[in-house]
Amino acid sequence: MTQTIDNRFGEFGGQYVPETLMTALDQLTTAFEAAKQDPEFQAEFHRLLNEYANRPSLLYYAKRMTETLGGAKIYLKREDLNHTGAHKINNVIGQVLLARRLGKTRLIAETGAGQHGVATATIAALFGMECEVFMGKEDTERQQLNVYRMRLLGAKVNAVTSGQGLLKDAVNAALQDWAAHPDDTFYVIGSAMGPAPYPAMVHEFQSVISKESKAQYQTVAGKLPDAIVACVGGGSNAIGSFAAYLDDPSVRLYGVEAAGQGVASGKTAATLELGTPGIFHGMKSIFLQNQEGQIAKVYSISAGLDYPGIGPEHAALQATGRAEYVGITDEEAVAAFEFIAKQEGIIAAIESCHAVAYVQKLAPTMRPDQSIICTLSGRGDKDVASIAKYRGEEIHE
Amino acid sequence: MSKLREVFKNHKAFIPFVTAGDPSAARTVASVVALAEAGADIVELGVPFSDPIADGPVIQAAGLRAFAGGITVNGVFDIVAEIRKQTQVPLVFLTYANLPFKYGYDAFCRRCAALGVAGLVIPDLPAEEAGEILPFTKKHGLDLIPLVSPTSGSRLAKLVTDATGFIYIVSALGVTGQRAGFAQNLPDLIAALRQVTDAPLCVGFGVHTPEQARELAGLADGVIVGSAIVAQAAAAGDDAPAAIAAYTRDMVAAVRQAEVDA
């Protein structure tokens, strides 16, 4: 699905932000459109992806998982092996190159689990730029390791106490900071959300995931895979995992949301299963909200998925039926965290383990001549302590 | 001529803001009536939203108090109905886009018009997106009040095209709240706006002292004050209506003094 000239994906998208930010968005749109066509920008982007971020990432055949589950062959797209340990760095490199073109000297970012904050702090260090990361206070407490990482990289971490102290509140604070400093500051949005051109921009920079996986799978199997599975919070790794297959209708696309304690429990972040259309964080999309439009509280064990909205392109992909969105509970995700560790020797991020848990359900329903590519969006070192706690064991890092 | 435009025919305007339902419906009604009696020309009523990204800590806290008191969108309409029993002061709503969107733009605008709400300020609905509500504000005779910022630059002509009421000039970058100074380019911004529109120009964001009000009213046609009033009301408790009325009398006098200065 391409973003149309009016900044929409179907009925979703748009630029619902205060006037103070509109000039900055106009400049960003112009710079982004130019960069897409500029061979010099593209060369620099891909050079950094390859030489600094360790791309291309592996497409790994998970033989033991495949045998255990019985059914489709399972391939893992290893974004967890990127520098900084997640897919987030792909997008950050692209956006920070744009920030430099625009002459901005200060980077700000929101972060949930901390992976996008770490990626932004990393590239800020690489380019010698000032960096401030907004992170919900609750998230700073459950992701202390990433908070320290960001500080080690030279970033200032601002613990946001408003609201629930979660990702949504971090986005609010980052938008407010940007509105106060639109001239020198570039807001590096970490997910496929926010006002145009961010969703299209994140799509563009993260599409390297599926461009690679498509070519890699072609080399291995000489055909297209049958299904792509990726976890969805705001939706950046999922849109990157889907992008190259959007026009290949035989490839089924699955986005896996965090159902928390269950879709019906009231403690969930399953936006596309329970949400309704709304306007928030610069975009028209689907949100968890009450009948009158107050944004809902969300819950998930995963600090990277507990967001009450979703990027507008995903809302549109659901509306057209091109992609399917399913929920995985905390319990299922934690079981998948343990499963993939023991089966494949991979400690994957709890976010990614939502996708793994869905693969556990999907693979047995498919034939052995079919294949699934599951994106491991990040590595799970950051989650070890909280998973231990979930299982009733207190460990100190 | 729109009801709001008429306000500016003879003098400059002082426009105080209160958050509806902070901390109760009854207090809001009493406060708006007191503001009107103290000489407020228009009262801006904030419709509480869960995530008010354009608002600073003072107005955010007011929203939380209103939610604690059980405020809903329909509850805000009920407050307006009560206000209308006691005063006909022109009212405008400050609301975030999601609330009228969920209510239904047509139904929201119809309800506003029926209760005598004259205009809407929607900080997260810039000119690029205003087209989705404009047919309904026009249909029901409401003014959609455009916001203009110190960063608007070459966008000014686009922003004022549909300005049937007044224009809200954001005097400083960032969120609402008290400030010592305003954007340096404010006089230039106002002069540039005068080139492209005859609509009255009102300045808000950060205004709190009578001296500031007098200075800004010298440049513009009206002054909007939010956080300063909300903070005083919160500090005064049950005495809030009297406290903010006294402040409003001082601010109205300062704005009127600007007319004499001119």
**Cross-chain Cβ contact A162/B60 below 8 Å:** yes
What average pLDDT does range B40-60 have in this prediction? 96
Q: Which of A16, A168, A182 sits opposite B124 (nearest CB)?
A: A16
Question: Is there a domain that residue B66 lies in?
Answer: yes
Q: Which residues of A touch B74 (CB under 8 A)?
A: 292
Report the C-alpha gap between A78 and B96 in whole angstroms.
41
Catalytic site residue from B22, B37, B41, B44: B44
Say yes or no to pLDDT of B96 above 90.
Answer: yes
Number of domains in chain B: 1
pTM: 0.96
Percentage, residues of chain B above pLDDT 70: 100
Q: Which residues of A touch B51 (CB under 8 A)?
A: 163, 168, 172, 280, 295
Question: Is there a domain that residue B134 lies in?
Answer: yes
| Structural domain containing residue B82 | 13-146+200-261
- Torsion angle, CA of B178/B67/B81/B222, rounded to 10 degrees? 10
CATH number of the CATH domain containing B140:
3.20.20.70
Note the pLDDT of residue B206. 87
Q: Which of B101, B128, B148 sits opposite A279 (nearest CB)?
A: B101
Q: Which of B73, B101, B128 sits opposite A278 (nearest CB)?
A: B101
- Is there a catalytic annotation at residue B55? yes
Residues 168-227 of A with CB under 8 A from B: 168, 172, 175-176, 179-183
Question: What is the CATH code of the structural domain delimited by A56-85+207-390?
Answer: 3.40.50.1100
Domain assignments of chain A as residue spans, ordered by start:
21-50+88-202, 56-85+207-390
Query: Of A176, A101, A162, which Cα lies nearest the Cα of A132?
Result: A176
The Cα of A15 is separated from the nearest Cα of chain B by a number of Å equal to 7
Residues 265-324 of A with CB under 8 A from B: 276-282, 284, 287, 289, 291-295
Question: Is there a domain that residue B37 lies in?
Answer: yes
Question: Is there a domain that residue B113 lies in?
Answer: yes
Query: Of A285, A358, A295, A290, which Cα lies nearest the Cα of A317?
Result: A285
Note the pLDDT of residue A394. 87
With bands split at pLDDT 50, 70 and 90, how would you rate the model's confidence at A369? very high
* Record: fold of A21-50+88-202: Rossmann fold (3.40.50)
With bands split at pLDDT 50, 70 and 90, how would you rate the model's confidence at A397? low
Q: Which residues of B touch A30 (CB under 8 A)?
A: none
Percentage, residues of chain A above pLDDT 70: 98
Residue B183 touches chain A, beta carbons under 8 Å:
no
Same fold flag, A21-50+88-202 and A56-85+207-390 = yes
Say yes or no to pLDDT of B183 above 90.
Answer: no
Question: Is there a domain that residue B103 lies in?
Answer: yes
Q: Which of B54, B74, B98 sits opposite A278 (nearest CB)?
A: B98
Q: Which residues of B touch A26 (CB under 8 A)?
A: 155
For chain B, give the secondary structure using H, E and C: CCHHHHHCCCCCEEEEEEECCCCCHHHHHHHHHHHHHCCCCCEEEECCCCCCCCCCHHHHHHHHHHHHCCCCHHHHHHHHHHHHCCCCCCEEEECCCHHHHHHCHHHHHHHHHHHCEEEEECCCCCHHHHCCCHHHHHHCCCEECCEECCCCHHHHHHHHCCCCCCEEEECCCCCCCCCCCCCCCHHHHHHHHHHHCCCCEEEECCCCCHHHHHHHHHHCCEEEECHHHHHHHHHHHHHHHHHHHHHHHHHHHHHHHHHHHC
Note the pLDDT of residue A290. 96
